[in-house]
Chain A
Amino acid sequence: MNGKKLRKNISSLFSIPSLLTTKPGAANLLSKAAFACLIVSLTFGLHVNDSYAQDRVEVTGVVTDASDGSPLPGATIIVQGSGEATGSTIGTTTDMDGNYTIRVPQDLNVLVVSFIGYLSQEVQIDGRTEVNIQMQPDIRMLDDVVVVGYGVQDRREITSSVASVSADQFNRGNINDAQELLQGKVAGLQITRPGGDPNAGFSIRLRGLSTIGANTEPLVVIDGVIGASFNSVDPNDIASMEVLKDASAAAIYGTRGSNGVILITTKSGDAVADGGISVNYNGQISTSFVANRYETLTPEEYRELGTRGITINDLGASTNWWEEVTQTAYTQSHSLAVSGGTGTTNYRVSGNFRDVQGIQKGTGNQQLNARLNLNHRALNDRLTLNANLSVTNRENQIGLGEVFRYAATFNPTAPIDNPGSGFDNFNPLQINEWTTWDQEQSRYIIGLRGEYDFSDVIDGLSGAVFYSRENEDFFQGEYYNSQLRFRGAGRNGLARREMVNNSNQLFETTFNYRNTFDWVRVESVAGYSYQEFEGKGQFVEGGDFVTDSFLYNNMGASREFNRGLGSISSFLNQSKLIAFFGRVNMTFDNTYFLSGTFRREGSTRFGAGNKWGNFFAVSGGAELTNLIDIPRADEFKLRVSYGQTGQNAPFDGISLLRFGPGASFLVDGQFVPSLGPVSNPNPDLKWEVKKEVNFGVDFAFFNDRLSGSVDYYSSRTEDLLLEFGVPVPPNLFPLQWVNIGEISNKGIELALSYQALQTPDANWTTGITFATYNTVLESLSSGDLQFGDRQLISNMGAPGLNNTQIIRVQEGAPIGDIWGPRFAGFSTSGEWLFFNANGDIVNRDQLTTADNQVIGNGMPDFTLGWDNTFNYRGWDFNMFWRGAFGHDLVNSYDVFYKNPTVASAYNISREARDLELRQSPTFSSYYVESADFLRLENVTVGYTLDLRETAAIRDVRFFVSGNNLWTITGYGGVDPEVRFADPGPSDNAGRVGGGNPLAPGIERRNNWFTQTSLVFGVNLGF
């Protein structure tokens, strides 16, 4: 197939003619020149020796692109064998017109011609004095240069596990958050957001669960800004994302690399011929509606239940609660990008606007984002200056998951407006209408980078300084109407305001050295990194307002403050990370690859003797096709890596005995605030360390039509940072952050891409990602701190199951074991029957805790992504499936509502109608369901108009797309998506705690219903 043509389509489609993703071609002369510069700098140390000798013949010629005949400037021509014959390599590079002249010793006959993006060639001279060479584009160059930490690397030389996803491979359709772009695209990377809440956070897990105490999500680096937020970048501005999967790749980020690293490269400006500009507009509108909800009885069905001898509570009305609180949501997004440049100065400016509605009434968000990427080269291209600036403003209107919970389970015979009774506490419409919960996030990132090429001093040396500042202002305002009883009841209106500012400044200086010594190529980087973080904020809560009209905007009107009630708090946190790091990559004869990384990093958060940690990695690989003949193989690289990464302490002051204000006590009859310790100090706390070994194969067969990689990894995290039970006494508190225990992960990952069809008119590319997971909690003991037999965590919740713990944590066992009695059936009188430990059938009163057993596991065994792209003339078609398999979910809705005995208090599951159960809710394996699913995430059909080159509008593409179109699953709850962490049951006011990663596999009742979206969009290029 014509790789360049495909490439052209893609680049016009996304209009990102950037250095990293664009393959040289005639249509893109200047980008070819940029590549020339790169190759010149890469080969600076080639020590080209063109010494004159009597017995040499001058050979001239022109090097061109075989596909379109355009000249290739900067291609390298070397006389094969000249090193051995003359003692020095004879070689040259082509000029701007692709011309070269070289003097070849008479007894040598072969020229080796190479150029990045093309397949290297050996050409026989055979006595000619003019040898013109046509270079075949290397299709694999599509993604051949990969962004790694502090630099780029040729994909063929990478010896650790790195996955690269470029814009053309991103997820499509109704995508409003950057995280969604990657869902299912990288083997081993799981990104989940169960339900259809547009403001919910994502769970991101790479290769299982490497740490349990603190942060479990990968580090995000946007254009070099370490620890940046996904929310700082609009999905339309991303050129590529690289996922550093193994510890070897992530070790350059040392302390924060344990959960992997996601590097985001934004689109940058590119020179346009004759100084013109390129303008691109993407716009889309979409409509979203409820896809799946928890099915309960209609008012008629509920009343009918009463005729069957089941106690109901008929309140006389007929209300379809979920219709009252859901809406068909409309979402629009517009993106305009202008880019251009002169060759020395390139820019790209973009603006993005999104207005997203949620399927719950009154919910959604609006995001405005602007970005400027500016590059300038000066001093004979020795100095490169780069500035990135992005500003994002996002407003969220939050909807409580409890609205859906009670829409499903509130009495369907209750009138919509039923003031007065305590019954009204959980009226979903009132919760929806009388709750105001708004958020506003303003972020900016400034990144400034200067790089100077010192190669006049030392060949191959360059130095760079980088400064960035990320700033986030977060505002949250909540108001609970004086009539609302769900939250703020008895407060006569309750308002809360929270303002938080988080900022960090990063200063880095790096030196790069790259050189080629005969058959050895060296690329190295060394640097220093200084990053300081500051977080500050304040929180005010007060109630008792004269009017509901102020919402959260007039806290002074709260009369609670007059009575000493209401609360105010504020804080300031400061911390620093300082590091020295380096990496050396060596390539031997283009066949053997070796890489070593080191980072020494210190954190303010640890005690005096434990601040610094050392993290290193080594990896190596061999390109077997250069050594042995593998039939039809274009590439077959074996690689192995080992590395260490770390995990910083979860918050500030953790090593110190700190005193903070507490409740008051009486001093001479007057209340005086107490000052007490806030936690157990642990000055011995140290870095958590993850050690990981990775074996991988990268391969390509059949002229690159089939390509992919396979990885096997095994990691072990030691000295886990965990809040652990410690004896009281001598400790002040029963929990303390300690280094304890080990967790291990193993898995196999497969990524395959196959160009199934390649004809001039039609192309079909299909790709699969597949990953297995096995996470085991090896140990949770250290010295005197013993974990004990097991712990049971995550209670089922109110009503009545507050002390029913459903997840077992046990040393040596997999993470996520669901624990409880094994269901055996119902007795003829509707009693629960269970299997006891001996396998005998017993009733509920005979059941003891000793009969509980593992009845499921919440972690998936494997995940799957299947992508198909089909092009036919102007048409493009994409279909993406994603699935997770082997995980179970506790169907909390069913636990409480698939039971006819609760019909007097709640609406019940439709399936409960015919259930021969007459005992109150009890947790058992009856409610643990396999949640395997395969979901048709997206189908997109687009058509690109065939316009003349001279038309004012360069490209026009229309598309329609659908998201979450079909889910194949046997799970009976709302969303079979993997639940990685359990926030716990919500209390009566719907408040939940932070997620516990040791308790995956529970679908709580505050889950949003899922949604399906249909999208229409247009892409324009000028």
Chain B
Amino acid sequence: MKKFISNRILLVGSFLFIFSLACTDLTERVPSQITALESEEEFISALGEAYTILGAWQNHSTLFSLQEISTDVAAIPVKGQDWEDGLVWVDTHRHRTLPDHGPTNGSWNFLFSGVNATSRLILQFETLVADGTVDADLANAFIAEMKVLRGFYYFWLLDTFGNVPIIQDFAEVAGNPSNNADFQTGRTEVFNFIESEVLANIDLISDNPQASYGRIHKDAAHFLLAKLYLNAEVYTGTPRWADAEAQIDAIINSNNFDLEMDYNAIFATNNSNSSETIFAIPYDEVFLGGFNMHHMTLHYNQQAQFDFQDQPWNGYTTLAEFYNSFEDGDVRKDRFFVGQQFALDGSPLIDAEGGGLPVDFDPEIPALNMSDPGQFPTNRIAGARFGKFEYAVGATPDLNNDFPVFRYSDVILMKAEVQYRQNGGGQMYLDMIRDRAGVGSIPINEENLIAERGRELYMEIWRRQDLIRFDRFNDAWWEKPVSEPFRNVFPIPQDQIDANPNLNQSPGWDSL
């Protein structure tokens, strides 16, 4: 009897045992995604990640906002209840930014996501070349392109934050960046890193800007180096004007680009392949969304002016002083929205929720903080609105206009500046830009150069960099008081320092 029982137990036990072995498989499957790149088509597609990140280039609350709102060309005034936003935008304009302000962290994450994407792709391509699974020439061209593009992201990190960590090896540091001895090696080292990376790869990448539209190519690399050398004194303390001019000349002498006859054509809805565009983000309402300048600046009721799909936000305005710095007759001045606005059917727009006032923009803004509508009844219609880019009728939240990140008129203005800096020349180049705008010559000097750069390139993310280079960023204007020089870089975001205690805050910011 005992034997019988233990046999049964054995039977049950072995059944359980076999059953358990067969049914403990926990391999994970993710059917709607892929976990490894295999075909060449997959790899080319993977390359896109390094570029599509640029879709956030012009987004509100990241790099674009930080770079423009901190200057004398743009502000987001508080309009009653609207845009109070914890006074972040008032503080940004007045240079009272704090390390825990959202836009600094947004900018950091945006730029480093570009660094990470390029570093990851470089590693993946290098692994494939080592494995012999892809054509080495094709892969090497991709690797070179990614390294220059990483230089582009690092250039903006250098410009915005200064002393940022240089992370180029995706694999090694994935575990713990604080173990890396070179985590933060100083602004000059960042400068040197970008310079050496771009120089080492400039001859390996495409030299056909038309075929490489929307991508990094040789002329874009020259432009990047020109900007790096132009601001070398700010970044490293040592001016590099002649080096800058050599890069500028390389672009001019390539004969790939020319100034548009019509200033407006550069910013038109269909501005792809403009002769002036060197490197563009090819925004598209279907394929690459993210360009929503129309929402950021226009009044709510201007939805009816353009039959926009969504209501604009009534945010960004320009400063009266800047608007007035354009002469009458300057084609660039006409790009602003001032005065009474009209619906598509021709009827004047009325701001019903804003006390029934007409939507009639006055460039003069009573105050940066107009939180009290009783004191500032025109708060919602104060300030000229930006219309640099054409806004298409019926536009979705994503505009179709390409954003010219690098453009030829900047090359011409840089040429004017480097000549002026080196030998007082450059008048001819300054005149070219003013002539195209329909205004007469002004004598070349620092005052006129920085002013003209503003009028030509405002809202293209260069203004803050230019003001710093011309030593004007710390000056007072409108409601912005004189600010301390340490504010010429933005603080390392508090979120990043919280996430990685080994990150050091920049001088000045650390004692706030």
Partners in one complex: yes
Chain A residues with a Cβ under 8 A of chain B = 311, 313, 315, 421-423, 425, 454, 457-458, 463, 485, 489-491, 509, 511, 528, 530, 563-565, 570-576, 578, 580, 602-605, 611, 652-653, 655-669, 671-678, 725-734, 784-788, 798-805, 844, 849, 896, 901-902, 904-905, 918-922, 988
> Is there contact, CB below 8 Å, between A602 and B24?
yes
> Is there contact, CB below 8 Å, between B19 and A671?
no
> Is there contact, CB below 8 Å, between A674 and B82?
no
| Stretch from B128-136, B211-219, B383-391, B478-486 at the A interface | B211-219
A666: B residues at CB distance < 8 A? 51, 213-215, 282
> Is there contact, CB below 8 Å, between B354 and A904?
yes
| Stretch from B30-38, B317-325, B411-419, B447-455 at the A interface | B30-38
- Per-residue A-contact encoding for B466-500, CB less than 8 Å = 1, 0 else: 00000000000000000000000000001111111
Which one, B28, B52, B84, contacts A655 given CB within 8 A? Answer: B28
> Is there contact, CB below 8 Å, between A422 and B32?
no
CB of B399 to closest CB in A, whole Å: 14
**Complex alpha-carbon distance, A565 and B400, angstroms:** 13
A422: B residues at CB distance < 8 A? 300-301, 303-304, 311, 352-353
B303: A residues at CB distance < 8 A? 422, 489-490
A-B contact pairs, 24 of them (CB 8 A): A458-B8, A458-B9, A490-B308, A490-B309, A490-B396, A572-B32, A573-B31, A574-B29, A580-B20, A657-B35, A659-B33, A663-B288, A664-B284, A666-B214, A674-B49, A675-B48, A676-B46, A728-B109, A729-B173, A734-B495, A804-B85, A904-B373, A905-B353, A920-B371
Q: Is B511 an interface residue (CB 8 A)?
A: no
> Is there contact, CB below 8 Å, between A734 and B109?
yes
A668: B residues at CB distance < 8 A? 211
B173: A residues at CB distance < 8 A? 729-730
Q: Is B251 an interface residue (CB 8 A)?
A: no
Which one, A313, A458, A580, A671, contacts B356 given CB within 8 A? Answer: A313
> Is there contact, CB below 8 Å, between A800 and B49?
no
B500: A residues at CB distance < 8 A? 727, 784
CB of A415 to closest CB in B, whole Å: 12
Which one, B30, B46, B284, B309, contacts A671 given CB within 8 A? Answer: B284
B435: A residues at CB distance < 8 A? none
A315: B residues at CB distance < 8 A? 352
> Is there contact, CB below 8 Å, between B178 and A901?
no
**Complex alpha-carbon distance, A672 and B165, angstroms:** 32
Q: Is B108 an interface residue (CB 8 A)?
A: yes
Say yes or no: A652-B30 contact (C-beta < 8 A), given A725-B498, A800-B81: yes
> Is there contact, CB below 8 Å, between A671 and B34?
no
B80: A residues at CB distance < 8 A? 799-800, 901-902, 905, 920
Q: Is B350 an interface residue (CB 8 A)?
A: yes
- Among A573, A663, A896, the one with the most B-chain Cβ atoms within 10 Å of its Cβ is A663
Say yes or no: A788-B115 contact (C-beta < 8 A), given A662-B52, A921-B81: no
Q: Is B507 an interface residue (CB 8 A)?
A: no
> Is there contact, CB below 8 Å, between A920 and B373?
yes
**Complex alpha-carbon distance, A787 and B499, angstroms:** 7
B269: A residues at CB distance < 8 A? none
> Is there contact, CB below 8 Å, between B34 and A729?
no
> Is there contact, CB below 8 Å, between A730 and B177?
yes
B112: A residues at CB distance < 8 A? 728-729
Q: Is B78 an interface residue (CB 8 A)?
A: yes
- Among B102, B374, B377, the one with the most A-chain Cβ atoms within 10 Å of its Cβ is B374
**Complex alpha-carbon distance, A257 and B498, angstroms:** 32
Q: Is B120 an interface residue (CB 8 A)?
A: yes
Chain A to chain B: the 7 pairs with minimum beta-carbon distance, closest first: A674-B48, A490-B309, A803-B86, A788-B498, A676-B49, A800-B81, A803-B85
Which one, A575, A726, A805, contacts B28 given CB within 8 A? Answer: A575
> Is there contact, CB below 8 Å, between B81 and A896?
yes
Q: Is B75 an interface residue (CB 8 A)?
A: no
Q: Is B267 an interface residue (CB 8 A)?
A: no
A604: B residues at CB distance < 8 A? 26-29
- Per-residue A-contact encoding for B48-92, CB less than 8 Å = 1, 0 else: 110110010000000000000000000000101111111110000
Which one, A425, A458, A678, A805, contacts B33 given CB within 8 A? Answer: A678
**Complex alpha-carbon distance, A489 and B275, angstroms:** 36
> Is there contact, CB below 8 Å, between A652 and B287?
no
**Complex alpha-carbon distance, A611 and B82, angstroms:** 49
> Is there contact, CB below 8 Å, between B301 and A725?
no
Say yes or no: A732-B117 contact (C-beta < 8 A), given A658-B34, A904-B353: yes
Question: Apart from A602-B26, A666-B214, what are 11 other A-B pairs with CB-CB below 8 Å?
Answer: A422-B352, A565-B396, A605-B28, A653-B33, A659-B33, A673-B48, A727-B496, A732-B113, A784-B178, A786-B499, A905-B80
> Is there contact, CB below 8 Å, between A664 and B48?
yes
**Complex alpha-carbon distance, A311 and B355, angstroms:** 7
- Per-residue A-contact encoding for B320-356, CB less than 8 Å = 1, 0 else: 0000000000000000000000000000001011111
Chain B residues with a Cβ under 8 A of chain A = 5, 8-9, 12, 16, 19-20, 23-35, 37, 42, 44-49, 51-52, 55, 78, 80-88, 98, 102, 105, 108-109, 112-113, 115-117, 119-120, 165, 167, 170, 173-178, 210-211, 213-215, 282, 284-290, 300-301, 303-304, 307-311, 350, 352-356, 371-374, 377, 394, 396, 494-503
> Is there contact, CB below 8 Å, between B48 and A729?
no
B108: A residues at CB distance < 8 A? 728
Say yes or no: A786-B501 contact (C-beta < 8 A), given A603-B26, A734-B109: yes
> Is there contact, CB below 8 Å, between A665 and B499?
no
CB of A492 to closest CB in B, whole Å: 9
CB of B17 to closest CB in A, whole Å: 11
CB of B287 to closest CB in A, whole Å: 4
Which one, B32, B83, B170, B285, contacts A565 given CB within 8 A? Answer: B285
> Is there contact, CB below 8 Å, between A725 and B499?
yes
> Is there contact, CB below 8 Å, between B49 and A662?
yes
B44: A residues at CB distance < 8 A? 667, 672
> Is there contact, CB below 8 Å, between A656 and B49?
no
> Is there contact, CB below 8 Å, between A727 and B84?
no
CB of B266 to closest CB in A, whole Å: 18
> Is there contact, CB below 8 Å, between B113 and A728?
yes
Q: What residue in chain A is nearest B19 (Cβ atoms)?
A: A528
> Is there contact, CB below 8 Å, between B494 and A801?
no
B288: A residues at CB distance < 8 A? 663-665, 671
A920: B residues at CB distance < 8 A? 80-81, 84, 371-373
**Complex alpha-carbon distance, A605 and B29, angstroms:** 9
> Is there contact, CB below 8 Å, between B35 and A800?
no
**Complex alpha-carbon distance, A657 and B35, angstroms:** 6
A491: B residues at CB distance < 8 A? 309
> Is there contact, CB below 8 Å, between A801 and B37?
no
B287: A residues at CB distance < 8 A? 564, 663-664, 671
> Is there contact, CB below 8 Å, between B374 and A901?
yes
B8: A residues at CB distance < 8 A? 454, 457-458
> Is there contact, CB below 8 Å, between B31 and A574?
yes
A662: B residues at CB distance < 8 A? 48-49, 52
Say yes or no: A656-B372 contact (C-beta < 8 A), given A422-B304, A671-B287, A784-B176: no
A313: B residues at CB distance < 8 A? 352-353, 355-356
> Is there contact, CB below 8 Å, between B45 and A804?
no
> Is there contact, CB below 8 Å, between B28 and A660?
no
A799: B residues at CB distance < 8 A? 80-82
CB of A150 to closest CB in B, whole Å: 16
**Complex alpha-carbon distance, A575 and B26, angstroms:** 8
**Complex alpha-carbon distance, A571 and B29, angstroms:** 13
- Among A572, A674, A801, the one with the most B-chain Cβ atoms within 10 Å of its Cβ is A674
> Is there contact, CB below 8 Å, between B47 and A801?
no
> Is there contact, CB below 8 Å, between A490 and B307?
yes
Say yes or no: A572-B31 contact (C-beta < 8 A), given A664-B287, A671-B284, A798-B82: yes
B51: A residues at CB distance < 8 A? 665-666, 674
